[in-house]
Amino acid sequence: MFEILEAKLLAEKIYRMTVKAPNVARSCEPGQFLIVRTDEKSERIALTICDYDREKGTVVIVLQAVGASTMKMLSLKAGDSFADVVGPLGRPSDFVSEDLEEVKKRRYLFVAGGLGTAPVYPQVKWLKERGVDVDVIIGTKCHDTLIMEDEMISVAGKEHVFITTDDGSYGRSGMVTAVVEDLVKNEGRKYDICVAIGPMIMMKFVCKLTKELGLPTIVSMNPIMVDGTGMCGACRLVVGGKVKFACVDGPEFDGFEVDFDGAMKRMALYKTEEGRKLLELQEGNTHHGSCGA
């Protein structure tokens, strides 16, 4: 069992949890993810690692209630436990294993969308701790859905964090792509690499823009997974015309090579089942159909 040490509401339906998971904490790096199973009957859910403390053996995850399984996870409080936490899974971000002197020469632009702010945080933290300068754009629907602003500012510095909201209720107004354009075209900022993590549709449009700008872009894919170790192939996607498994080949890929449309289509696979389960959880077992029904 993996004890939840802290559970904090960040925004509506979005929680931050600190979990005791020494096996993950001892070796995880920015870019990697883990899998949580709430109890015996729950799904295995892949989640990004938001922070970690090797000494204490803890990891921080940020999760949003989107389906029955995440709802169930969020019903747990500090002192409760998950049945399973396994990881780290996937490959760390490239910069972790690259020559640090080379990395230091680059200027990184991070683009975080919504929940994607969580996996961007440990990357920014890692780079800043090693003296690499980064700018971070955080895009979200409105002020109420903004998460981790203070944490991001504390690692990146206030002048390097740019917030934008779709409705203009906080920070700049509009999509993250508008901010990328502003920073590069109007404010003359120079970047060598962009890391975009967020909803697939956001990553798709960021890549469209950065391609025009000639700014190489890395994206982090979070498709449907079951085992997370390369066994099931549920997380397959097409990158550069080849089938890749997000769990072992990724989750980070060259954004210019990813077939986003195909990946987005595949996300729809279990939507009806997920929806059915959620209704069932909220309203009782009245929506259950047998397979194929």
Partner 1 sequence: MPEMDMMKKVPVREQDPKERAKNFDEVCLGYNEEEARQESLRCLNCKNPLCVKGCPVSINIPAFIQEVKNGDYEKAAQIIAKDSALPAVCGRVCPQETQCEGKCVRGIKGEAVSIGKLERFVADWAREKGIRPVLEASKKGKKVAVIGSGPAGLTCAGDLAKMGYDVTVFEALHKPGGVLVYGIPEFRLPKDGVVMPEVENVKALGVEIRTDVIIGKSETIDELLEEEGFDAVFIGSGAGLPMFMGIPGEQALGVFSANEFLTRNNLMKAYREDYDTPISCGKQTVVVGGGNVAMDAARTALRLGSSVTVVYRRSEKELPARAEEVHHAKEEGICFELLTNPVEILTDEKGWVKGIRVIRMELGEPDESGRRRPVEMPGSEFEIPCDTVIMALGTSPNPLISSTTKGLEINKKKCIVADESNGETSRPGVFAGGDAVTGAATVILAMGAGRAAAKGIDGYLS
What residue ranges bind partner 1 (CB under 8 A)?
23-24, 26-27, 37, 41-44, 68-69, 72, 83-89, 226-227, 229-234, 236-238, 243, 245, 248, 259, 262, 265-266, 268-270, 273-274, 277, 285, 288, 290-293
Least Å distance between CB 175 and partner 1?
Answer: 26
User: Between residues 153 and 234, which has the closer beta carbon with respect to partner 1?
Assistant: 234
Judging by DSSP bridges, how do beta strands 161-165 and 172-173 pair with one another? parallel
User: Between residues 105 and 287, which has the closer beta carbon with respect to partner 1?
Assistant: 287
Q: Would you state the structure tokens that stand for residue 176, as one six-digit string?
A: 């993250």
Distance, CA of 25 to CA of 65 (rounded, Å): 24
User: Between residues 6 and 227, which has the closer beta carbon with respect to partner 1?
Assistant: 227
The verdict on whether omega for the bond into residue 199 sits within 30 degrees of 0, i.e. cis, is no
Asked if residue 198 lies in contact with residue 150, where contact means CB atoms within 8 angstroms, the answer is no
Distance, CA of 36 to CA of 45 (rounded, Å): 5
Give how far Cα 130 sits from Cα of 55, 156, 158, 191, Å: 19, 12, 18, 18
User: Between residues 169 and 229, which has the closer beta carbon with respect to partner 1?
Assistant: 229
Give how far Cα 1 sits from Cα of 28, 81, 84, Å: 19, 6, 6
Least Å distance between CB 220 and partner 1?
Answer: 17
Least Å distance between CB 283 and partner 1?
Answer: 15
Give the residue carrying structure tokens 């077939």. 259
Q: Would you state the structure tokens that stand for residue 212, as one six-digit string?
A: 């025009």
Q: Would you state the structure tokens that stand for residue 213, as one six-digit string?
A: 């700008």
- Please, what is the Cα angle at 148 between 275 and 259, to 5 degrees? 55
Least Å distance between CB 206 and partner 1?
Answer: 22
User: Between residues 178 and 264, which has the closer beta carbon with respect to partner 1?
Assistant: 264
User: Between residues 67 and 255, which has the closer beta carbon with respect to partner 1?
Assistant: 67
Least Å distance between CB 17 and partner 1?
Answer: 17
Give the residue carrying structure tokens 């354009």. 181
User: Between residues 131 and 292, which has the closer beta carbon with respect to partner 1?
Assistant: 292
Distance, CA of 21 to CA of 31 (rounded, Å): 17
Distance, CA of 124 to CA of 111 (rounded, Å): 11
Q: 81 has which bridge partners?
A: 3
CA count, 13 A, side-chain hemisphere, 13: 12
User: Between residues 183 and 279, which has the closer beta carbon with respect to partner 1?
Assistant: 279
Least Å distance between CB 88 and partner 1?
Answer: 6
